[in-house]
Amino acid sequence: EPEVTQTPSHQVTQMGQEVILRCVPISNHLYFYWYRQILGQKVEFLVSFYNNEISEKSEIFDDQFSVERPDGSNFTLKIRSTKLEDSAMYFCASKQGTTETQYFGPGTRLLVL
């Protein structure tokens, strides 16, 4: 069964460093999302992406964040200058069409020291 994959599974970085989290959505899906989950808390929406542009973003998704679909398969989330409070699990999700449901990847656990 097709699934969303994410790399790396874990990333440790120093405060102020840039990180890029990678996702490969399900191949025929058109809508892509990033969510984050701080340890012990609920999953929070960051950004949605469709037709090569951001379609919606939350307050969390400030100027330090950016997303890109550099080729036909990858979908990346970049944090330009990480802060301690960026430590969280980051989940990528994708769906095929407007009425479809989202499927989540296994997540990248980011730890900022």
Partner 1 sequence: GQQLNQSPQSMFIQEGEDVSMNCTSSSIFNTWLWYKQDPGEGPVLLIALYKAGELTSNGRLTAQFGITRKDSFLNISASIPSDVGIYFCAGQLGGSQGNLIFGKGTKLSVKP
Q: Interface residues with partner 1 (CB under 8 A)?
A: 4, 31, 33, 35, 41-45, 48, 50, 55-56, 58-59, 91, 95, 98-99, 101-107, 109
Nearer to partner 1, 13 or 104 (CB): 104
Identity of residue 100: E
- Nearest-angstrom CA–CA distance, 52 and 84: 30
Task: Assess contact for 35 and 93: CB atoms under 8 A.
Answer: yes
Q: Contact, 23 vs 35, CB < 8 A?
A: no
CB of 16 to partner 1, least distance (A): 27
State whether residue 4 is helix, strand or coil.
coil
Q: Whole-number minimum distance, CB 60 to partner 1, in Å?
A: 10
The least distance separating partner 1 from the CB of residue 59, rounded to whole angstroms, comes to 8
